[in-house]
């Protein structure tokens, strides 16, 4: 009991000292600059008789049976005052003198000791409040310091039941779920594997682009297995102080052993698992110590039975080889971008809590979103829902999904921006050039949308999607058609406006990168099937540009530049040739863009087939030649003024040809 009292006194003592210091400071601030002169009763009466007293305050003190008389004299400065103690028998004389001489300032205050409550409020309560606040403040500071000094404890968070996420919540990852299903079976029934002498993988590394569902898959494994689930980020191991990361790794595995069988999920493991001794200036001692401890815990002398580690990263190239060997991360599961079928399944999962119009077809939405990750698709539907709410609609319609797609790709539309007619015409001609090449080139992508509404940094854009979704393999002709389509905007400006602008800068950047890759990486040039540039695996921390290995001479570098330029020039000439042959279609699309600002796939097809935007009921039959076809025939026959002729006039002029 005495020990406890001593501890309490030790805890409170610093606060008492602090309160005393604060009280002294406050008293100094209030009274430290003032000068008080002590006067006797006789001296006070003499000053009153001489009319030197200007202010007078009488305060009774019942506890001392005297009166305190304070005030100022004529000769005093602003910070000077007097104080005198007067007995009760003499106080009447002072009051008479004060009344007779009619002092300007005269107060006769009440005795503060007459009210105990008032005395406590004035004198005791402020100090009590100060003590309480100091205690609370320092108590929080002490607890914070305690936590801040607890560096070596693991930052891993524990979920006892593995979470509520199941495999049903993970769509579009059928093969990936099969790869990790064995882990679940092992955690539920380990004897089945031990009977045949099988060793379950100690670690599974999930690799793939951001937003593809790596973390979600790990949560689903924990939820299906229904075992304790530790999750931590790789950056949580890294600290300023040496040895902290290794201590946290040890503590995490110590806690995991108590809860075995269990799962440990390390997100963004590249933050702590990078190659040792790489980069300029050697390695990072603290990070390498943490990695060494992680390697030891995963496959060292100690046994970690029943502990399975799942890690995720989108940079497997920077990981240390010792981390990837069998016995540590035995299995790598690539979580790639979803295909059309997988995207449809993902959209169905994210559409469960949303209300859609009856005409919404998620399959069509999935086909229009190649290259989208699961996170992109979730964001797409969320943006569509926000737009529907903004427009006061009761359900999400196709216009909202179209707008959301544009917002995800290019940013919000700048509808308030004032565009001059000349600028609108320029952008329309530019985008029509891209579209016509997409329509006419055999290996080009399919045109789905054209708009001249500014979005982001672009004045307009043409949405082109692959005709058939394939694995990441493209032919030479497809790459050349892609480059030609990118150069279509500049070629259209040069041909039909007689002027070139800065609007094609991003197109040039993309076209140049594709052309150079064809020469240096894909072996699709006159230089032969050789790879002249590749990412080096030795120095992974030098950056993408510095990390490229150069295994060719300066002469070959010149030939690479010439080959890349040749590809660009040939594609540009082909773009101009195709656009010249389809001048009428370029002008038709440009005029329609100026009028409508945005053209959908159906409207584009209507313009190509019938020469105008029309419904199916009012369009002519496909057997009748279109306006574009008639103009092409008139151009071949060299009929003068055919561009200004109506469709009926062209039919009459080409009567013999049609028949």
Query: For residue range 472-484, what is the model confidence (pLDDT) as tens digits?
Result: 688 899 999 999 9
Q: Which of these, 320, 324, 577, lies nearest to 436 by C-alpha position?
A: 577
Per-range mean pLDDT, top range of 133-142, 258-267, 302-311: 258-267
**Locate tokens 């919540």: which residue?**
169
| The predicted structure's pLDDT at residue 154 | 62
- pLDDT category of residue 126 using cuts at 50, 70 and 90: confident
The distance between the two most distant Cα atoms of the chain, rounded to a whole number of Å, is 141
* Residue range 159-180: mean pLDDT, rounded: 76
Q: Regarding predicted confidence, which is higher, 188 or 561?
A: 561
- Is the C-alpha dihedral spanning 608, 610, 615, 621 positive or negative? negative
- pLDDT category of residue 238 using cuts at 50, 70 and 90: confident
The answer to whether residue 548 scores a pLDDT higher than 70 is: no
Tokens representing 464? 């082109």
* Residue range 364-372: mean pLDDT, rounded: 85
The answer to whether residue 4 scores a pLDDT higher than 50 is: no
* Residue range 501-526: mean pLDDT, rounded: 91
The answer to which of 460-474, 545-559, 619-633 has the lowest mean pLDDT is 619-633
The answer to which of 175-189, 246-260, 500-514, 534-548 has the lowest mean pLDDT is 534-548
Q: Regarding predicted confidence, which is higher, 225 or 511?
A: 511
* Residue range 287-293: mean pLDDT, rounded: 81
Name the burial class of residue 255, with classes exposed (0-12), middle (13-18) and buried (19+) by CB atoms within 10 angstroms of its CB: middle
* Residue range 529-555: mean pLDDT, rounded: 63
Q: Which of these, 207, 222, 210, 211, lies nearest to 176 by C-alpha position?
A: 207
Count helices and strands (H / E) in the chain. 25, 16
* Residue range 309-321: mean pLDDT, rounded: 87
- pLDDT category of residue 491 using cuts at 50, 70 and 90: very high
Question: Which residues, other chains included, contact 428 with Cβ-Cβ below 8 Å and sequence gap of 6+?
Answer: 452, 460, 589, 590, 591, 593, 594
The answer to which of 94-98, 318-322, 365-369 has the lowest mean pLDDT is 94-98
- pLDDT category of residue 418 using cuts at 50, 70 and 90: confident
Map residue 512 onto helix, strand or coil: helix
Q: Confirm if 380 and 408 have CB atoms less than 8 A apart.
A: yes
| The predicted structure's pLDDT at residue 488 | 92
- pLDDT category of residue 37 using cuts at 50, 70 and 90: confident
**HEC profile of 119-161:** HHHHHHHHHHHHHHHHHHHHHHHHHHHHHHCCCCCCCCEEECC
| The predicted structure's pLDDT at residue 542 | 47
The answer to whether residue 490 scores a pLDDT higher than 90 is: yes
* Residue range 45-61: mean pLDDT, rounded: 77
* Residue range 238-252: mean pLDDT, rounded: 75
Computed over every residue of the chain, the mean pLDDT equals 78
**Locate tokens 């854009």: which residue?**
461
- pLDDT category of residue 537 using cuts at 50, 70 and 90: very low
**HEC profile of 339-354:** CHHHHHHHHHHHCCCC
Q: Which of these, 215, 208, 204, 221, lies nearest to 331 by C-alpha position?
A: 204
| The predicted structure's pLDDT at residue 544 | 47
The answer to whether residue 471 scores a pLDDT higher than 70 is: no
The answer to which of 13-22, 83-92, 646-655 has the lowest mean pLDDT is 13-22
| The predicted structure's pLDDT at residue 63 | 61
The answer to whether residue 40 scores a pLDDT higher than 90 is: no
Q: Report in angstroms the alpha-carbon separations of 119 from 64, 114, 115, 122, 359.
A: 15, 8, 6, 5, 79
Residues with catalytic function? 431
| The predicted structure's pLDDT at residue 628 | 64
- pLDDT category of residue 561 using cuts at 50, 70 and 90: very high
* Residue range 261-288: mean pLDDT, rounded: 74
**Locate tokens 């409207």: which residue?**
603
The answer to whether residue 101 scores a pLDDT higher than 80 is: no
| The predicted structure's pLDDT at residue 489 | 92
Distance between CA atoms of 459 and 431, rounded to whole angstroms? 10
Q: Regarding predicted confidence, which is higher, 72 or 513?
A: 513
The answer to which of 9-23, 280-294, 550-564 has the lowest mean pLDDT is 9-23
What is the arrangement of strands in the sheet containing 461-465, beginning at the earlier edge strand? 461-465, 446-451, 598-600
The answer to whether residue 611 scores a pLDDT higher than 70 is: yes
The answer to whether residue 114 scores a pLDDT higher than 80 is: no
| The predicted structure's pLDDT at residue 148 | 45
| The predicted structure's pLDDT at residue 109 | 58
* Residue range 239-243: mean pLDDT, rounded: 63
What would the pLDDT profile of 379-398 be if each residue is shown by its tens digit?
999 999 999 999 899 999 88
The answer to whether residue 644 scores a pLDDT higher than 80 is: no
**HEC profile of 384-406:** HHHHHHHCCCCCECHHHHHHHHH
* Residue range 72-88: mean pLDDT, rounded: 79
Distance between CA atoms of 325 and 334, rounded to whole angstroms? 16
| The predicted structure's pLDDT at residue 652 | 79
- Does the predicted TM-score (pTM) go above 0.85? no
Percent of the chain topping pLDDT 90? 13
Tokens representing 528? 């032969």
Q: Regarding predicted confidence, which is higher, 550 or 523?
A: 523
């Amino acid at each position: 009991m005495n020990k406890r009292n001593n501890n309490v006194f030790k805890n409170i003592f610093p606060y008492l000292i602090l309160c005393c210091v604060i009280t002294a400071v406050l008293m100094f601030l209030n009274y430290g600059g003032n000068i008080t002169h002590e006067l006797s009763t006789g001296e006070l009466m003499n000053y009153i008789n001489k009319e030197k007293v200007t202010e007078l305050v009488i305060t009774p003190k019942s506890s001392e049976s005297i009166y305190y008389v304070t005030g100022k004299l004529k000769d005093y400065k602003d910070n000077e005052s007097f104080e005198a103690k007067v007995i009760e028998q003499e106080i009447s004389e002072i009051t008479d003198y004060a009344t007779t001489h009619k002092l300007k300032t005269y107060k006769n205050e009440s005795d503060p000791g007459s009210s105990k409550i008032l005395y406590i409020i004035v004198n005791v309560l402020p100090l009590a409040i100060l003590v309480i606040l100091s205690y609370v403040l320092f108590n929080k500071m002490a607890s914070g310091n305690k936590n801040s000094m607890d560096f070596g404890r693991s930052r891993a968070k524990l979920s006892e039941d593995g979470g509520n996420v199941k495999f049903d919540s993970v769509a579009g990852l059928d093969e990936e779920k099969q790869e990790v299903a064995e882990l679940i079976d092992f955690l539920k029934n380990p004897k089945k594997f031990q009977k045949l002498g099988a060793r379950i993988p100690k670690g599974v590394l999930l690799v793939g682009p951001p937003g593809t569902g790596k973390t979600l898959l790990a949560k689903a494994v924990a939820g299906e297995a229904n075992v304790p689930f530790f999750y931590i980020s790789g950056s949580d191991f890294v600290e300023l102080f040496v040895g902290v990361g290794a201590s946290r790794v040890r503590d995490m595995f110590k806690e995991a052993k108590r809860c075995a069988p269990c799962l440990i999920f390390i997100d963004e493991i590249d933050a702590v698992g990078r190659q040792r001794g790489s980069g300029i200036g050697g390695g990072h001692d603290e990070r390498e110590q943490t990695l060494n401890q992680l390697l030891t815990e995963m496959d060292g002398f100690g046994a970690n039975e029943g502990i399975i580690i799942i890690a995720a990263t989108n940079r497997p190239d920077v990981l240390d080889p010792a981390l990837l060997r069998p016995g540590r991360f035995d299995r790598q599961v690539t979580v790639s971008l979803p295909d059309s079928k997988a995207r449809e399944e993902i959209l169905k999962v994210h559409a469960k809590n949303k209300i859609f119009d009856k005409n919404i077809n998620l399959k069509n939405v999935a086909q229009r979103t190649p290259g989208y990750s699961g996170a992109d698709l979730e964001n797409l539907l969320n943006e569509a829902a926000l737009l529907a709410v903004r427009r006061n609609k009761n359900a999400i319609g196709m216009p909202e999904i179209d707008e959301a797609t544009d917002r995800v790709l290019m940013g919000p539309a700048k509808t308030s921006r004032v565009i001059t007619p000349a600028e609108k015409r320029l952008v329309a001609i530019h985008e029509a050039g891209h579209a016509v090449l997409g329509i006419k080139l055999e290996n080009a992508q399919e045109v789905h949308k054209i708009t001249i509404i500014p979005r982001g940094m672009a004045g307009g854009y043409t949405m082109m999607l692959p005709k058939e979704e394939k694995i990441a393999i493209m032919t030479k002709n497809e790459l050349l058609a892609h480059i030609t389509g990118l150069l279509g905007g500049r070629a259209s400006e040069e041909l039909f406006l007689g002027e070139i602008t800065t609007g094609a800068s991003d197109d040039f950047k993309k076209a140049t990168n594709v052309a150079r890759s064809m020469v240096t990486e894909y072996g699709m040039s006159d230089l032969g099937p050789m790879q002249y540039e590749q990412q080096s695996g030795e120095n992974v921390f030098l950056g993408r540009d510095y990390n490229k290995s150069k295994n060719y001479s300066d002469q070959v570098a010149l030939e690479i530049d010439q080959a890349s330029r040749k590809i660009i020039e040939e594609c540009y000439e082909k773009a101009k040739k195709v656009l010249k042959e389809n001048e009428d279609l370029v002008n038709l699309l440009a005029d329609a863009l100026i009028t409508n600002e945005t053209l959908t796939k159906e409207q584009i097809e209507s313009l190509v087939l019938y020469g105008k935007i029309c419904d199916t009921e009012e369009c002519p039959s496909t057997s009748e030649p279109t306006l574009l076809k008639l103009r092409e025939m008139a151009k071949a026959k060299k009929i003068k003024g055919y561009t200004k002729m109506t469709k009926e006039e062209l039919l009459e002029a080409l009567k013999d040809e049609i028949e």
